[in-house]
A and B are shown apart, each in its own frame.
Chain A
Amino acid sequence: MTTASTLTGKSTEDAPVVRTDRSKLIGGIAQAVIGLYGLWAFGLGSRTSHNAHTLFNLKLDPASSGPSPISAPAEPVAIALASIAIVCGLVRAFAPISAKVQRWLAVGYFASFVLAFLVWAAAGSGIGLNVPSIIQQTSIAAVPLILGSLSALLCERSGVVNIAVEGQFLFGAFAAVITASMTHSVWAGLVAGCLGGALMCALLAVFANRYLIEQVVLGVVLNLLASGVTGFLYDRLMSTDGATYNSPPSFNSIAIPGLSKIPVIGEALFNQNILFYAAYLLVPLVWFLLFRTRWGLRTRAVGEHPTAADTVGIKVVGLRYRNVITAGLLSGLGGVWLTLGLASQFGKDMSDGKGYIAIAALIVGRWSPIGSLGAAVLFGFATELNLALSSLGTPIPTAFLSMAPYLVTIFVVAALGGLARPPAASGKPYLKG
């Protein structure tokens, strides 16, 4: 190995083998200690004292009819939630439990800790927390991360590292905006955006499989290329004649009959545009295709052990080309979402690192579609939370909250170490013979 060719693969042989018993004990105790800090900071701090209450709004629009806000006494609720978190940590550390229970405990720990934090942060505020708005913003922020991580997932499962999701977003977004602006059709924009992403992925596939460029390096350079090309064309076309080139129509929201009337979550989740639904529906679809179809089995074989796959007659390189280009359609769709679905115009470097976070979501989700979805929602929550909290005037600078997804990723990658295994052949070009 001269270079770091896979995302986390080559470190495994250097990494200490984490014994699950020890990590369970240490992890559980660490959770309990952090929970204890939460108890002290959130429950017993001055913000929740003096009988302060925390208001949870359950309507997206406070003026509309619906359930009335819940007002919770801040101090006891925060203490209770923090105590639950501590118990979860202690149970994990000392009780003999299975890995599955551990996972649910972790979810419970995380949920109660975050809730305790929210109760503390919004204590005494007259506006309170708008729960449907947080749900809505989280689900919206997760969309590009989901699409990006699915794209990277398809690539890595077939043995190509796609770190150029950022570039595919940008190129897809640009292609979508310029096409939709000139044709006045969102559908033309959608097609163009997906094709733009696929084009970037085709570059990746060709240079990775035919010219054998180191794939992480290639991805970074392709990101630079996409940033340069779109930035240049933006300066030349869009900033001079925005009316012609940068004023696309956007997708309309479609309220799903019935579902959109559900209180609290209905308006937030079921009154979105078609790209939103598509992104969430793609997750089970990709899962099904990968794990329940012949194509999926072949793809995983090519990503794990291409020599064996070749032996049984699978065309390794051809399948890789197909999958990588298909993955480009997904990340191109992410670009379409950023522009036609969300912002209605293109801006320089507008993907703003979302492509990289999508890859982080893939790793935190351990190369599975469902896990990636969970990680994407988590990251979306962390990004949106600081917007919600900045209006509440918490003493924590919002920058530190914005760092949360990145720090979580570092923590997960460091904690999992050798346990986070990418597909074995990911990043290695296949040469017959």
Chain B
Amino acid sequence: MTTPTPDQNSSEETPPPAAGTPATPEPVEQPATAQPTADPGSDRSLGTVIRNVFTAENSAMVTFLAIVLSLVVGAVLIVLSNTATMDKAGYFFASPGDFLSSAWGDISSAYSSLFKGAIFDPATVSGTPSQFFGPITTTLEYATPLIFGGLGISVAFRAGMFNIGGQGQTIIGAIFTSYAAFTFTSLPGALHLIVTVLAGLVGGMLFGGIVGWLKAMRGAHEVIVTIMLNYVALLLLGGWLLNTGAFHDPTHAGQAISKPADPDAVLPHLFGSGLNTDIGLLLALLATVAVAWFFQRSKLGFEVRAVGLTPSAARTAGINVRRVQIASMLISGALMGMIGVTQTIGLANPNNNAIAPNIDAGLGFTAITVALLGRTKPWGVVWAALLFGALQAGGALMQTQAQVSIEIITVVQAMIVIFVAAPRLVKEIFRLRATKIEKGAAPTATPPSPDPFHTTSVGGQA
């Protein structure tokens, strides 16, 4: 059983249609649409297209279904955690309508405010542009750090390394950014901004570089090192730095908060002052283009992919594996440092562009889910970041409007990633094709391109 493309992890049951024969008989669901095509050589009839979509050998459908399933899980949690609704469930068989309408009320108010906060609110159709575009620009603003983060995870992933240190690298990036932003006030406007952004980039890069260096030179596993460095960075910022005279804002006595950034060093608005998006988004898209170019066109990017696929083969081919590991962690750390930049001097910072101990806001971990959902492909990451950014933006409104805690967003995000990572589960749930599990069929025998989710070394001794 071969595995045709990297994203198709399950074995295909249908034999490939031979040229010259009509399209294979349709499944029972759509008998009417089965028309033999005029061109017998292609398997492109409308029915086949529909069948291919719904039999979900393509990952787009799995992703869509994963999102639906995750929202269902979220809905179940919302209903289960509402005590008033659950009281009505106590007499469900006496009067099921009570429970159902109450549950429906919970779910619809939560998810409609999620939509209003993330995309647009129908009530603002006749409002001002800033009201109308407010939600979508907020989504873009939330997506910005996630794009950087997802790219950062992807670069490390493609080199065969799992960077869980986004939190630490973000924090160090934020520390460097903040320091540059309130210290170098004598620099002229634009230059100050550039220096500030570069400072954050370098901060994250150095912190990521430590990991790469330890991995390459000492064989220290990056997962452990990054987890530990996360706590080092957290303690460094929250436990010490924000209490020192160099960082602590004297006007906020007793509060662990840094001095605010100089107004020159704040990222300017991208779409005008009424809207929430800053030019960080532009930088993120530039980074996406750069990473895409890096993977496809640059020598180092090629080496990164080679090392990620098979380190031993790459070494045999003359690639310096250690250098590649260090380089990819430097790049990954730099992209993570950019989260620190956008968190500190971006518009999403609620603290007047100062940094507080929770400056990373868990984005280093959300970035992992973004990278996985985007399958570590640069533009895939952008789409994933937009989705998760929308969830974050909508979740904020959901919390205030529907009194549903924003924590549900974390649940939904985690569930999406789990479902996307286990396409076979999704297919089993929806009774899609290729659900029969063949014992012994290795779904990911050796995919031609790196699949972030699955271990490739299957079996005992790899």
Q: Taking beta carbons and an 8 Å cutoff, which residues of A are in contact with B?
A: 1-5, 7-8, 10-16, 163, 207, 211-218, 220-225, 227-229, 231-237, 241, 305-308, 310, 353, 356, 359-360, 363, 397-400, 402-403, 406-407, 409-410, 413-415, 417-418, 424-425, 427-433
Contact = CB atoms under 8 A, between A and B. Distances in A.
Contact of A409 (B216, B224, B415): B224
Interface string B137-163: 000000000000000000001001110
Nearest to B443: A212
Contacts of B453: 213-214, 217
B458 A3 contact: no
Residue in A8, A214, A360, A402 with the greatest tally of chain B CB atoms within 10 Å: A214
Contacts of A214: 421, 452-455
A152 to B, nearest CB: 12
Given A217-B162, A228-B411, A233 B77 contact: yes
Contact of B321 (A14, A218, A431): A14
Given A14-B216, A213-B421, A428-B455, A228 B461 contact: no
Residue in B160, B410, B411, B455 with the greatest tally of chain A CB atoms within 10 Å: B455
B452 A428 contact: no
A241 B457 CA distance: 49
Interface in B425-448: 425, 439-440, 442-444, 447
Contact of B405 (A11, A232, A306, A425): A232
Given A15-B218, A237-B83, A428-B462, A2 B451 contact: yes
A225 B73 CA distance: 12
Contacts of A213: 418, 421-422, 453-454
Nearest to B217: A16
A307 B444 CA distance: 19
A233 B422 CA distance: 26
A221 B424 contact: no
B460 A8 contact: no
B229 A232 contact: no
A16 B81 contact: no
Nearest to B421: A213
A5 B217 CA distance: 19
Interface residues of B, number: 81
Residue in A3, A216, A305, A417 with the greatest tally of chain B CB atoms within 10 Å: A3
Interface of B: 77, 81-83, 157, 160-162, 164, 214-225, 227-229, 231-232, 235-236, 238-240, 243, 308-312, 321-322, 325, 365-366, 368-369, 372, 404-405, 407-415, 417-418, 421-422, 424-425, 439-440, 442-444, 447, 450-462
Contact of A218 (B82, B224, B421, B425): B421
Given A307-B460, A360-B227, A13 B311 contact: yes
Contacts of B369: 221, 224
Nearest to A432: B440
B86 to A, nearest CB: 10
Contacts of B425: 211
28 contacts: A1-B308, A1-B310, A1-B457, A2-B456, A5-B457, A207-B421, A211-B422, A212-B458, A214-B453, A220-B368, A224-B366, A224-B369, A225-B411, A225-B414, A228-B412, A232-B77, A235-B405, A399-B238, A403-B231, A403-B235, A406-B229, A407-B228, A410-B229, A413-B221, A424-B461, A425-B461, A428-B455, A431-B458
A406 B243 CA distance: 21
Contacts of A398: 239
A217 B456 CA distance: 14
B461 A8 contact: no
Nearest to A425: B460
Q: Which 7 A-B pairs have the closest CB atoms?
A: A15-B219, A399-B239, A228-B410, A307-B460, A235-B405, A433-B440, A211-B422
A4 B240 contact: no
A231 B218 contact: no
Contacts of B442: 431
A428 B461 CA distance: 9
A363 to B, nearest CB: 6
A428 B214 contact: no
A49 B162 CA distance: 50
B239 A413 contact: no
B81 A237 contact: yes
Given A217-B452, A430-B459, A11 B221 contact: yes
Nearest to A245: B83
Contacts of A14: 215-216, 219, 311, 321-322, 325
Given A8-B219, A424-B461, 16 more contacts: A1-B311, A3-B308, A5-B457, A11-B221, A14-B219, A163-B223, A211-B421, A212-B455, A214-B455, A228-B410, A228-B414, A229-B77, A305-B460, A306-B459, A359-B224, A402-B239
